[in-house]
Amino acid sequence: MISLSTKVEEIPKIGTAYAKRLKKFGIKTVQDLLFYFPARYDDFSEIISIRQARQRLGEVVCVQGQITEIENTNTFKKFMSLTETTIQDNSGEIKVIWFNQPYLAKSLKEDDFVCLAGKVSLYKEGVYLNNPSYERINEIGENEELTHTGRIVPVYSETRGITSRWLRYVIKPLLYRFCEQIPESLPQEIIKKYKFLPIQEAVWQLHFPDSFEHADAAKSRFSFEELFLIQLNVLKEKIKLMLKKAPACPMDADLMKSFTDYLPFQLTDSQKKCAFAILKDLEKTVPMSRLLEGDVGSGKTVVATMAALSVIKNDHQVAFMAPTEILAKQHFKTITELLKNFDVKIGMLTGKDARIFKDGEIFEVSKKSFNGDLENGQIDFAIGTHSLIQKGIEFKDLALVILDEQHRFGVEQRDHLIKNKKLVPHLLSMTATPIPRTLALTAYGDLDLSLIDEMPANRKKVKTIIVEPSQRKEAYAFIEKEVKECKGVFVIFPKIESNASKLKEIIEKNGPINGSFIPQNYSPISLSSLAINEVKALKEEYERLSKEVFPDLRITMLYGKMKPAEKERIMLDFKKGEIDILLSTSVVEVGVDVPRATIMMIEGAERFGLSQLHQFRGRVGRSDMQSYCFLFTTDPSQLNRKRLKAMIDCDDGFKLAEKDLEIRGPGSLYGTQQWGIPDMAMQGLTNIFLVEKTRTAAKELLEKDPELKNYPVLKERLKQFQTKIHFE
């Protein structure tokens, strides 16, 4: 018995070969296939007479007619086969040409009636229909049900060996057979409230819509449903956490005052407000889940350190996790300095190193003794990379986890940290990525938000300049001048993917030159962008800068694959002023603090999203000196100019993120590509009204029925959904 859960390979039309290809889309069962929705539609719904069609040169038309003749010819030295036919109706006739579909002459015969949809094009002798979609019919003008022509036709995203035509051919009969078995997943009250199409009709209308209005109605139902599932998922996690207990850490106002008194600067009002919200959260037995957002340089580290100090003085431990070793080491240095007067035992653990700060001094220790110290509570404050949550690492009494530049940490991960202990730690997550409101309400909907929306007073606005290829020399001269004044320069070189097809294209156009495949007129930048691997490209650029452009300056490279110790040494040298120019891939993106750096120069700026460019820019302007951000671009397209111009006009990370969302779509937002959010939910993410609606609906439902006991279908869909998405 075939049913919705039957594997696709068991469907005779599909078989194992096609089933394998379908797997690439995650389609395994009949139900999956029915939920594989078209990416867009072709509107072939207006059928006109052949006479009318002949007058619509350049337009796509749909006609019906009878085949008067059909034949195959080979052409272009047999590179391509042509199938030529002529069709007629009682208004006239038109020639039809198909390319490379020789089997057509076998399946379509003289006197057959067909419905065709294609572009009216010009040929030597007159007009013809160019490579039309086709479908056999019984009779001209009869009201037959059509699939590939004569209607709004679904177009799916395709892969090798799976065409839209094939998908239509397979999906339609399955819809007839199984659509009525698809169980409704949305609660009836929601369908009623928002006047949604019931699921069976929505599935049908998405594949074979009666009109574009029907397709839109079906789409909005599924956009809603997918966002609704995300909301349910996130809110359920939140409820789960609320039922757990965390150690309460009462705040000691005098301690906090003496901490801020020791600082070499005054906290901004924003920092104070955020610190207060966090310290208040820590006093509760409900585990905190708070996201601290603040632009690069807004001073999140100090705020986090205050939270840590409060927890430590309540006799608990704190873990602070950074995304990279460089950052972990930088935080270790900063935090030991900030806490030097407070008698806190601080340790640092990365992939290779373990260090301890005790009595004003730093000691290298073995990992084993580090672990021992953590376990018996000799270390109050552990700073590190993900090494801190590896197997075999145990805390005596962990009460606060701080995450830098990573947003999420699920209930399971927290559980893992505490093993069998009763209390779960509080969580403070920090990010410089501005999260648009729609995302904050969905993917981060389980986190409370605090925002540092104010920069320390001594900062000057970074001047941003788009550098045209012709202005390169001037920009280099300016950089040289700045370096003479002991200022540091970052050069960011875009991450380069191997681009074999582009390379091939150029070779084909230009032929190998001097034994190498690079055409002479290529500038060094685009030359590098063809390179097969990132490090090689970076090295070429390094050669160019150090030999040709800045022979007198001290330039050093930094890239992801370097050993952590080496990276650390380079960062330190750069900080101390022993390196003038740091040429780097995007590894410096997050967090690194080098106050003497005043120039951020970005090659191939058009390759980066605005939020990312903004992050780079935040690496400079960390002192009271005037800083600059140079955006080098080789792509003159208007769209890119427009995007880059936004960088000049705007230095608000939130606005830039919104702009990215507007120009490049939700896929441009940090992390979203890895989440596996379905397309329709992605599109929904740009719609704040929809997001708020789904959030309210999810809340109401969970309040009524937290376990979704009365909604088994929804519960099952949620379960499937959870295996697909994974927020970070």
- State whether residue 179 is helix, strand or coil: helix
392-396-397 Cα angle (round to 5):
125
Residue 436 lies near ligand ADP (rule: CB under 6 A): no
Which neighbouring-strand residues pair with 123?
126
Residue 123 lies near ligand ADP (rule: CB under 6 A): no
Rounded Cα distance, 215 and 5, in Å: 25
Residue 262 lies near ligand ADP (rule: CB under 6 A): no
- The binder of 593, among Mg ion, ligand ADP, none, by C-beta within 5 to 8 A per type, is ligand ADP
Which of 294, 609, 653, 666 contacts ligand ADP by CB under 6 A? Answer: 294
- The 458-497 site mask, x for binding ligand ADP (CB under 6 A), equals x---------------------------------------
Rounded Cα distance, 716 and 679, in Å: 20
Instruction: Give the strand pairing for 80-89 and 92-99.
Output: antiparallel
Which of 262, 265, 484, 500 contacts ligand ADP by CB under 6 A? Answer: 265
Q: Which of 290-298, 484-492, 598-606, 666-674 is the region at the interface with ligand ADP (rule: CB under 6 A)?
A: 290-298
- The binder of 287, among Mg ion, ligand ADP, none, by C-beta within 5 to 8 A per type, is none
- Going by C-beta distance under 8 Å and a sequence separation of 6 or more, which residues neighbour residue 269? 454
Q: How far is the CB of 296 from Mg ion (least distance, A)?
A: 7
Instruction: Measure CA of the first residue to CA of the last residue in the chain; give whole Å.
Output: 41
Look at residues 454, 444, 410 and name the one whose alpha carbon lies nearest to residue 295: 454
Q: Measured at CB, which residue is nearest to ligand ADP?
A: 299
- The binder of 297, among ligand ADP, Mg ion, none, by C-beta within 5 to 8 A per type, is ligand ADP
Q: Measured at CB, which residue is nearest to Mg ion?
A: 591
Q: Are 331 and 322 in contact (CB under 8 A)?
A: yes
Which of 297, 384, 436, 666 contacts ligand ADP by CB under 6 A? Answer: 297
Rounded Cα distance, 405 and 322, in Å: 7
Residue 653 lies near ligand ADP (rule: CB under 6 A): no
**Touching ligand ADP, residues 583-622 (CB under 6 A):** 591, 593, 622
Q: How far is the CB of 433 from Mg ion (least distance, A)?
A: 11
- The 205-234 site mask, x for binding ligand ADP (CB under 6 A), equals ------------------------------
Helix (H), strand (E), coil (C) string for 300-358: HHHHHHHHHHHHHCCCCEEEEECCCHHHHHHHHHHHHHHCCCCCCCEEEECCCCEEEEE
Q: How far is the CB of 353 from ligand ADP (least distance, A)?
A: 21
- The 589-618 site mask, x for binding Mg ion (CB under 5 A), equals --x---------------------------
- Going by C-beta distance under 8 Å and a sequence separation of 6 or more, which residues neighbour residue 276? none
In the complex with ligand ADP, the residue whose CB is nearer, 1 or 457, is 457
- State whether residue 678 is helix, strand or coil: coil
- DSSP letter string over 203-222? HHHHHS-SSHHHHHHHHHHH
Rounded Cα distance, 492 and 57, in Å: 50
Which neighbouring-strand residues pair with 113?
66, 137
**Touching Mg ion, residues 538-597 (CB under 5 A):** 591
- The binder of 118, among Mg ion, ligand ADP, none, by C-beta within 5 to 8 A per type, is none
Residue 433 lies near ligand ADP (rule: CB under 6 A): no
Look at residues 326, 348, 682, 626 and name the one whose alpha carbon lies nearest to residue 482: 626
- The binder of 450, among Mg ion, ligand ADP, none, by C-beta within 5 to 8 A per type, is none
Q: Which of 6-14, 195-203, 239-247, 297-305 is the region at the interface with ligand ADP (rule: CB under 6 A)?
A: 297-305
In the complex with Mg ion, the residue whose CB is nearer, 164 or 612, is 612
Using CB under 6 A, list all residues that contact ligand ADP: 265-268, 271, 294, 296-302, 432, 456, 458, 591, 593, 622
